[in-house]
Amino acid sequence: MSAATQQSTGIKKSLFDRGDKRRASQEVGESTANQAKGASKWGVLAVLIILTVYAVGPLWWLIVSVTKNKQQLYTTNGLWFAESFNLFKNLHDLFTYQDGIYGQWLWNTIWISLVCSAGVTIITVTAGYGLAKYKFHTRGLIMGMIIISFLIPGTLLTVPSFILFNKVGLYDTWWVMLLPGMFTPMNVYLAKVYAEGSVPTELMEAARVDGAGEYRIFLQISSRLLVTPAATIFLLSFVGNWNSFMWPMIFLKDYHKWTVMLGLQSWIARGTDSQYDLTILVLTGAFISMIPVVLLMIALQRYWKSGVTVGSLK
């Protein structure tokens, strides 16, 4: 074998060796990357499981607790059911205690939340639509006042509101719960931002060319494009009024006008009496008060889905 042939063979062998090393290094790199991806995936999954347990754990404990009696509540496993099922007895005790006052509290909370949510939805959506689609001299001033109002804590207005409503004779009346709940600057800003992106100005101009008035444009065209923010505002307002505690505690004196949260807090403060364990009643009342919010959330899902679909087709 000549020297040139040996040299050529050595060069080829060296190239093959380099190629094998390169492929081996690539395979090692890919294996390391896959291991890192797998580790990160398991890490994310572990974090999600921990957060799920943290969120669902108290709810599961509540569901289990309302099926127990007084003795079982303190002596059995808090995360699993007891041998006897006492949910229906607890419900009977809840709605018959103090002549069924819990039913009155529940009804007060339902209709106050519905009226306030409907009122704030109509007012804020129309206000946000007007600020987004119409130009007038004081629009900038109004938007500035709305944004400044975000910086004012709600608790700071409690004392002035108490003095005001007491002076005008609205203390311990239904109006003291309804009127303040219908005006929320944050929802106006939310409706304005959504109207700017979802209601095309060209569509409004086309309707004006066809002879439609401004009220007809809003009621028949624009309002259908604002279903998603309206549903969001309605749900957020409903949950806020449903869970409201400080406002009714300050402005409602007659316990027949109390809401569920205020009534349950009064039972917690009282502790237990000789006939019923109020802890069981409070847990059962909290469980029942959770159901309307869950049902409302399920009912409004289709409006969010339809809103996302409309936005994707524009």
The predicted pLDDT at position 310 comes to 47
Q: What is the DSSP letter of 183?
A: -
Please check the confidence at residue 116 and state whether its pLDDT lies above 70.
yes
pLDDT of 36 > 70? The answer is no
Alpha helices in 66-157, H assignment, sequence order: 70-75, 87-96, 101-133, 139-149
CATH no. for 88-313: 1.10.3720.10
- Are the C-beta atoms of residues 53 and 41 closer than 8 Å to each other? no
Q: Which of 106, 114, 154 is nearest to 261 (CA)?
A: 106
Q: How far is residue 51's CA from residue 60's CA, in Å, rounded to a whole number?
A: 14
The CA-CA-CA angle for residues 266, 267, 272, to 5°, reads: 140
57: left (phi over 0), alpha (psi -120 to 50) or beta: alpha
Taking a C-beta distance cutoff of 8 angstroms, is the pair 278, 270 a contact?
A: yes
> pLDDT tens across 186-243, in order?
899 999 999 988 888 898 999 999 888 889 999 988 988 899 889 999 999 999 999 9
How far is 290 from 300, CA to CA, in rounded Å? 16
Could you tell me if 155 and 244 are in contact, meaning their C-beta atoms sit under 8 angstroms apart?
A: no
| Domain spans, the chain | 12-65, 88-313
pTM of the model: 0.80
Banded model confidence at residue 35, pLDDT cuts 50, 70, 90:
low
With cut-offs at 50, 70 and 90, classify the pLDDT of residue 88. Answer: very high
Q: 64 near 80, Cβ under 8 Å?
A: yes
Nearest to 112 by CA among 227, 223, 251: 251
Three-state DSSP at 62 gives: helix
pLDDT confidence of residue 314: 43
Mean pLDDT estimate for the chain? 83
Whether the per-residue pLDDT at 3 is higher than 60: the answer is no
